[in-house]
Structure 1
Amino acid sequence: MADEMKLMKNEIAVIRNLLREQIKRLTRLEMENDALKITVTKMENDNLLTKERRLLLSDAGSPSTTPLPVEPVAFYAYMSKSEPTPSNHHALVFDVLKTNLGNGYNKFSGTFVAPFAGTYVFTWTINTNPHGAHFINLMVNNAIVGGTLADTQDTADFDSDSNTAVVVLSQGDSVILRTTYNSDRADIYADSHAFTSFAGWRL
């Protein structure tokens, strides 16, 4: 009986030693695993920084090829009827509005207000009746940027004159067509076959 007890104690001692060794090994493995996690995290952070640097260098070295969205702006309007002998510095009103992308043109005042900054093209056609003449100016705010002369003073024919201007506008700039000089019996003529018209668009 005493021998059996001694044998059991020896076996228990061996098992305890093995358990201690396993605990030590497990602790060492956990420490190594933590160290590996730290190393992997550092490598991932280094890779992320490298990618960000490459993107920054790429953006700085070459311009973006993605175009900015452009809101379309365009209008076209014409007079529904003739305007008899308008006075000097009279703003022309083109009351039949067929196109108004961007809502820049006001058919009641005849004024176009630029909804966005940019380069704009304006074109207009002015008809006059026989024995009449009109100087017409394109005005940006208070500055003259274009003009036409429709002159039939010495003939019995109607006259039709057109012009085009390309101007750079800031947002909120106003554009009108107005008279500068008129002679006796100088009507601005409009009917269903001869359109006195005004149009513009942003490039």
Structure 2
Amino acid sequence: MAGEMKSMKDEIAVIRNLLREQNERLTRLEMENNALKITVSKLENDNLLMKDRLEDISDENKALKLEVSDRRQVTTVLEDSNHANMDKQEEPSGAFGENAVHRRLLLPDAGSPSTTPLPVEPVAFYAYMSKSEPTPSNHHSLIFDMLKTNLGNGYNKFSGTFVAPSAGAYVFTWTINTNPHGAHWINLMVNNVIVGGTVSDTQDTADFDSDSNTAVVVLDQGDSVNLRTTLPSDRAVLVADVHAFTSFAGWRL
């Protein structure tokens, strides 16, 4: 009888060990499954960002083709004009020549100032971050590398800085997305002088935060404008994905 009881206890102990090993294996599989889900999610986001980049390249290619076509048309017009001037005969003398002189006298003096305003080239840019940026340090310049619009070529997507191609009044607007339990202090800088700012604070909440601001400033040609952090971030991530764009834009009035 004692032998049978010992045998049953041994079998129960073996079964318990098997159950424990199975539970540990299930826990490991669940952790691996969660890690795979995170990896797949990141790959999907990277894929969407790559699609956006391909669209940007396609748009830039179309713009370059249009610019080449426009320049070819201008070249053709100039060549036709040169040929016409070379083929033009001397004006006849006599009464017809006198009439031509009178007509020329009625034209405005070439040296007098023109009252027609010169056309103003548009200046505008819009860019956003292609990936999130964790815990940026103090006085960290933000770089918005996905450039969608850059009329006037004033914005540099590698440095995150806009340089005014001409003097005038400019509007700047920006949006900063922050993860839960974090905080960002962001300032708009003109020649390293603070002219605007936002605060994103979710340290006491479990929600994401999105903050925007707008500033109108008068710039001289060559003035530089960028966004930077004012204080170091603690556990704060600048969130950037296909659903929450951390962006920077500006245009001349």
Q: Provide TM-score, normalisation by structure 2.
A: 0.55
Aligned pair 1:102/2:143, yes or no? Answer: no
Offset, 1:182:
3.3
Alignment RMSD (CA, Å): 2.4
Between structure 1 and structure 2, the one with the greater Rg is 1
Q: Distance in 2 between matches of 1:122 and 1:201?
A: 7
Q: Name stretches of at least 5 consecutive residues in structure 2 with no aligned partner.
A: 1-104
Number of aligned positions between the proteins:
150
Task: State the Cα deviation string for residues 138-161 of structure 1 (Å, max 9, x = none).
Answer: 000011010000110110000000
**Aligned match of 2:118:** 68
Mapping for residues 47-196 of structure 1, pairs under 5 Å: 64=115, 66-196=116-246
Larger helix proportion of the pair: 2
Q: Distance in 2 between matches of 1:124 and 1:86?
A: 17
Q: Name stretches of at least 5 consecutive residues in structure 1 with no aligned partner.
A: 1-47
CA contact (8 A) 2:169 2:218 kept: yes
Q: Name the SS for the 1:182 alignment partner.
A: coil
**Aligned match of 1:22:** none
- Give the number of the structure with larger relative contact order, counting CA–CA contacts within 8 Å between residues 6 or more apart: 1
Identical pairs, percent: 84
Task: State the Cα deviation string for residues 77-116 of structure 1 (Å, max 9, x = none).
Answer: 0000000000000000000000000000000000001111
Question: Runs in 1 of length 4+ with deviation above 6 angstroms?
Answer: none
Q: Provide TM-score, normalisation by structure 1.
A: 0.68
Q: Name the SS for the 2:231 alignment partner.
A: strand
Offset, 1:68:
2.8
Q: Name the SS for the 2:135 alignment partner.
A: coil
